[in-house]
Amino acid sequence: MFQLSFTSTVRMAQVLIVEDEFFIAEHLRTIVTGLGHHVVGVADSAAQALELVHGLPHPPTLALLDITLNGELDGIDLAARLRARYGVPCVFVTSLADPETVARAKQATPLGYLLKPFVQQEVYVTLEMALAALAVTTAAPAAPEPAGLFVRDHKQLVRVDFVDLCWLEADSNYTKLYTCSGKHYTTTMPFKQVEARLPAAAFLRIHKSHIVALAHITALAGQAVVVAGHQVPIGRAYHAALFSRLNLLKSADL
């Protein structure tokens, strides 16, 4: 028999086991604790499991659920209640693999589906994958992207929103910002440094001295784009990059 000589590579989890067959439940408990996790309890029915979780100071990290359980509710019903009431995700541990059961189980969005009979390494891999996925989904959200640039205007700093910024122009050691509302600002920050602070999905350099907001291009006029009624030149080296970002339709005139 394969013997566990390793422990989980993720943080210790608080695991609930719901299984109506005593020996399988105890086998799972042995494997889970051998991996360095803590089993918060074992139940053989949905009702007992819900009562157990309700009495815990904190919900478990994960529930290992058999689908066929004692009582009126099965493991799929229990999975829905555990997630809705306590935010507890599950892994199903079952011998059922028929299409109807799998289709129902998918609705509970489990983190895994382990078929019986299982061996120790299968439990290990299933838990590792489930807990790794859970760590990603519960990670702290990234800080929101800035909505614009702050530029000095006389004695104050004003925000120029990206959605209002039409194009930028390099002017010697300065950078000029032109907005769609008709205002313009000048900053002493070099052109390349300003470019690095723009969202790449929304802005594109089309000339060594010009960057445009793609959403504000209204026309192509020869060797220039029209942005907010102004023609901004296109450098020869930048044609391919610009055309690859535009949704061009072929016509008889092209």
Q: How many angstroms separate the CA atoms of 104 and 192, rounded?
A: 54
**pLDDT in the model for residue 146:** 81
Q: Burial, 47: exposed, middle or buried (Cβ in 10 Å; 0-12, 13-18, 19+)? A: middle
| Percent of all residues in the chain with a pLDDT value above 70, rounded to a whole number | 92
In angstroms, rounded to a whole number, what is the distance separating the alpha carbons of residues 62 and 11?
12
Q: 7 pLDDT band (50/70/90 cuts)?
A: low
Structure tokens at 30: 């042995």
Q: Are 65 and 90 in contact (CB under 8 A)?
A: yes
For the entire predicted model, the pTM comes to: 0.56
Respond yes or no on whether the N-terminal peptide bond of residue 141 is cis (omega within 30° of 0). Answer: no
Judged by phi (left if over 0) then psi (alpha if -120 to 50, else beta), residue 48 lies in alpha
Ranges in the chain annotated CATH 2.40.50.1020: 148-245
Q: Determine which helix (DSSP H) or strand (DSSP E) holds 244, and give its type and residue range.
A: helix 239-245
- How many angstroms separate the CA atoms of 136 and 207, rounded? 40
Question: Is residue 209 pLDDT above 90, yes or no?
Answer: yes
Q: Average the pLDDT over 172-177 and give the result.
A: 93
In this predicted structure, the answer to whether residue 15 has a pLDDT above a threshold of 60 is yes
Query: How many angstroms separate the CA atoms of 243 and 245, rounded?
Result: 5
The pLDDT of residue 246 is: 86
Contacts of residue 161, Cβ cutoff 8 Å, sequence gap at least 6: 147, 148
The pLDDT confidence band at residue 81, using thresholds 50, 70 and 90, is very high
Alpha-carbon distance 216 to 161, whole Å? 14
User: CB count, 10 Å around CB of 190?
Assistant: 13
CA angle 229, 233, 235 (to 5 degrees): 155
**For the domain 14-137, what is the CATH code?**
3.40.50.2300
Looking at the chain, the domain(s) classified CATH 3.40.50.2300 span: 14-137
Which residue is it, tokens 């205002």?
183
Cα distances (Å, whole numbers) of residue 175 to 52, 85, 231 = 64, 54, 18
Output the six-digit token pair for 176: 């000029």
Q: Are 92 and 123 in contact (CB under 8 A)?
A: no
pLDDT digits (tens, 9 = 90+) for 83-114: 999 999 999 999 999 999 999 999 999 999 99
- Give the residue-averaged pLDDT of 138-156: 79
CA dist., res. 224 & res. 131, Å (int): 53
pLDDT over 80 (residue 141): no
Tell me, which fold does domain 148-245 have in CATH?
Answer: OB fold (Dihydrolipoamide Acetyltransferase, E2P) (2.40.50)
